Structures are given as structure tokens and as C-alpha cells.
Amino acid sequence: MANVAVIGSQWGDEGKGKIVDWLSERADVIVRFQGGHNAGHTLVIDGKVYKLSLLPSGVVRPGKLSVIGNGVVVDPTALLSEIAQIRSQGVDVTPDSLKVAENAALILPVHQRLDELREDANRGIKIGTTRRGMGPAYEDKVGRRAIRVADLYDPEALDQKIETLLTHHNALQRGHGRDEFDAQELKDYLLGLADQILPYAAPVWQVLFDARKAGKRILFEGAQGTMLDVDHGTYPFVTSSNTMAGQAAEGSGMGPDAIDYVLGITKAYTTRVGEGPFPTELLDDIGQRLGERGHEFGTVTGRSRRCGWFDAVMVRQAIRTGGITGIALTKLDVLDGFEELKVCVGYELNGERLDYFPSSMSGQAGVKPIYEVMEGWSESTDGARSWVDLPAQAVKYVRRIEELIDAPVALLSTSPERDDTILVHDPFDD
């Protein structure tokens, strides 16, 4: 039985939440392996909407084990708030159904304030972060001054760790002309949450090892998308973590041989939130139409998403760097009613044609899309659950995308509803 990693192949917001929820029926364990509560997944189940940020999407399914891996940065307040919200919707979340890695780093108020200060600064590049402290928390993790979940077990040892953390952060606060953080207040904050967080804490690597040994199916759930990867994305307009399938192993404490199939969630057009290059962006009525029909607003921030045509060059690059086996194509129904559709099949930069997205800021900002025009369709694909329900031109569009990105479509989503999904190939049967 295969273990599957699900990642985004664009700039996030591809519809991973629905696909992970749909796949979780076949899985026993669902693992978040990077990011934090800056991610946003919306699930629609029997007309009921669940908005998740930090919790794995499988948490809404009874009988599944949800895991937050060590690659995630955890805001303890946000986690407890999300658990309370999901419980209020009738979902039972307990220490038996949710495990949080003991070695996961915590997001603290110091991180959120620093994130805000940087975004509000008049100098430097504005990244367009969610202001939730992800970047500063990952910086502290790499700088070896982070406070981790396991540190809450030992209140006495916290003093030295807090001193090390605040030596760094208070210098930054002074540099911005802001008040310093008080060590005792931070300690009181942490100890006040410890009794609520620690029941969920566990050596996740051991939990997953045991699950794999017992023949359990494991589903690894990524956040954001490949083009937001800190190494392979549109740097510096990226998130602060590695978003690709390789991080599923590192961010959960398993070896890379634990991943048998990589499913890239891919929207039938392209969207992006925040700053950064976007070659196929449409700043016209068509872009507005895509946004309105696709309800393109961020689950976490509520910000409108920038919209554009499908970029096959970018997705093909994501497939190659991310080791994607097949894709789940989402939101095909949003394209219903367009007389013609465009797909980016190459870039032009300084008079030359490129078949990849360059790494330099100037190159990424300067590329111009080369389009292939396709005939649209007037019939509805909304709610289609088999190929025969799709218009001929919609099928042709999907097949052309497969050719351009050099990867097969394994699943096709035609609405936000869980069961409006066409299964071409079950990743768990790979």
C-alpha cells in the first residue's frame, strides 16, 4: 500500500484541502509537514464549510489520526483556537486523534510583532506575508534559539531559553524604537498554555514509524505551493519553508523511502496572493471574472487573489523539481462559459524564448508569456463525476495540459463538494 504526499504545484490555494480530505478516506494517518497557520484549507462536506489553517485536513474524518510534524511551526494559541472552532462544528478532536511533534518549534508573540514591523517598514522589499510570524519563527529555528513544544515540559529550563531568544529579539525591538519584551511575561504565557498543549505532544517520528510498520496508509499534506518554496520558488517572494515533497520526509521524521507517490494539486488556471512576479496575471475583466467565479479570496487573510491563465511552463518546472508523479486538476468548472482559453507554453525574455522560470528577480519580473489559444466550452462541468459528463472541449483542454506539463491527471475536481471528483488513478494503489 502506497504512502502519498500532496503538494501544491503553483503558488498555493490550488484546492489541496478538498483533495486531501477526499484522499483521507483511503488513508489511516494524515500528516502536516511544513508551514503553519498561514496556510488555509477550506473543506465543503455535505454543504457544511470547515476552514482549517494548522490542523491537517483529515481531522474532520472520524477514525483517522492527524499529525502535526516537526517541520511545522506551531502557534499554540492559534492551535487551541482552531481546535475549539472545529469542536463547535461537531468534530471531536482529542489527544488520541491529534498528535503534535515534541520537536516542533513554537510561534510566539515576539515573532508576530517582528513580522508586522518588517511588513510595515518603509525600506526593503515587501513580501506580502500573512503577518503571523512564520518567517521569524523559522529564523529562530535555524538560528538555534527557538522554543519547542518539548521545552514546555521543563519550566526551569525555560528561563535560559527565553533569555537567549529575547537577547536577539529585544535588540531588534530597540532598533525599531519599540518596547522590549519582558521575559517573565513570555514565560507566564507559555506556562499558561502548557497544560493544554502538552497532552497532544508526542514523538511523532516514532508514531509514524509504528504506523508504517503496521501497514497503515500515510497521507502527507503540504501547505502553500512549489513556487513559494524558499529554495525553488519566486525568491524572495516566497514562504519561509520548503514546500515540496522532499520536506514531507524531513518535516515528519521519516525517511524519503516512505513516500511512494507525489500528487501535485494544480488549479485549471493560476492564482497568487501577495507580492511577487506573475507572468500570466490578468488585470482585466477576464481576471476579475475568474476571481469572482472561483471565489478567489484567501482562507486565512481574506485577501483577493490575483488571477491569470494557466502557466504550463511553471507547473512543468514544479513537477520536475518536486518529483510530482501525477496531478489533481481543480476548479475546472470555473472555466465554463469562456469562448476561448489561453495557456502559457513558453516565456520571452530580452528577445529570447525560455522554457523555464528563471531564478533572478529581474528575470522573473521581466518574462512575457507566450500563449497557445484553445477553444472554450459553453456547457457546464460543475459537479461532473465522470469523463462522459464533460464537454469535448473540456476534455481536450485537460489532455493538452497533460502534454504540456509532462504529467498525467490522476484526479479531476469539478466543484468544492467532496464527491464531485473524477478519479482517473488512485495514488494509494500506485
Q: Which residues touch 134 (CB under 8 Å, ≥6 apart)?
A: 35, 36, 38, 73, 107, 111, 115, 239, 240, 241
Active-site residue among 13, 311, 333, 420? 13
DSSP one-letter string for 90-136: T----TTTEEEETTPBBP-HHHHHHHHHHHH-SSS------SSSHHH
Question: Under a CB-based contact definition with an 8 Å cutoff, are residues 408 and 329 in contact?
Answer: no
Is 336 annotated in the active site?
Answer: no
pLDDT at 96: 95
pLDDT at 1: 65
Active-site residue among 37, 41, 169, 232? 41
Q: Can you tell me the distance from the alpha carbon of 38 to that of 133, in angstroms, rounded to the nearest whole number?
A: 9
pLDDT at 17: 76
pLDDT at 127: 64
Q: What percent of the chain has pLDDT over 70?
A: 96
Q: Can you tell me the distance from the alpha carbon of 208 to that of 30, in angstroms, rounded to the nearest whole number?
A: 10
Query: Which SS3 state, helix, strand or coil, does residue 17 take?
Result: helix
pLDDT at 342: 98
Q: Is the pTM of this model over 0.85?
A: yes
Q: Can you tell me the distance from the alpha carbon of 133 to that of 117, in angstroms, rounded to the nearest whole number?
A: 11
Residue 6 φ then ψ, to 5°: -110, 125
pLDDT at 300: 57
pLDDT at 403: 97
pLDDT digits (tens, 9 = 90+) for 86-123: 999 999 999 999 999 999 999 999 998 888 888 776 66
Closest of 196, 36, 54, 11 to residue 111, by C-alpha = 36
> How many CA within 13 A on the CB side of residue 184?
0
pLDDT at 20: 82
Please give the helix or strand (H or E) that residue 188 lies within, else none: helix 183-197
pLDDT at 131: 80
Q: What pairs with residue 101 in β-bridges?
A: 202
pLDDT at 301: 58
Q: Is the dihedral of CA 168, 174, 176, 180 positive or negative?
A: positive
Question: What is the gyration radius of the CA atoms in the chain, in angstroms?
Answer: 22
pLDDT digits (tens, 9 = 90+) for 226-237: 999 999 999 999
Q: Can you tell me the distance from the alpha carbon of 275 to that of 259, in angstroms, rounded to the nearest whole number?
A: 32
Q: What is the mean pLDDT of each run of 10 residues along the chain (430 residues)?
A: 92 85 88 87 75 87 93 96 94 95 97 83 66 90 96 94 95 89 95 97 98 96 93 94 95 94 97 93 94 79 85 97 95 95 98 95 96 96 91 96 97 86 87
Instruction: Say how many residues make up the chain.
Output: 430
The three cell numbers locating residue 305: 487573489
Is 13 annotated in the active site?
Answer: yes
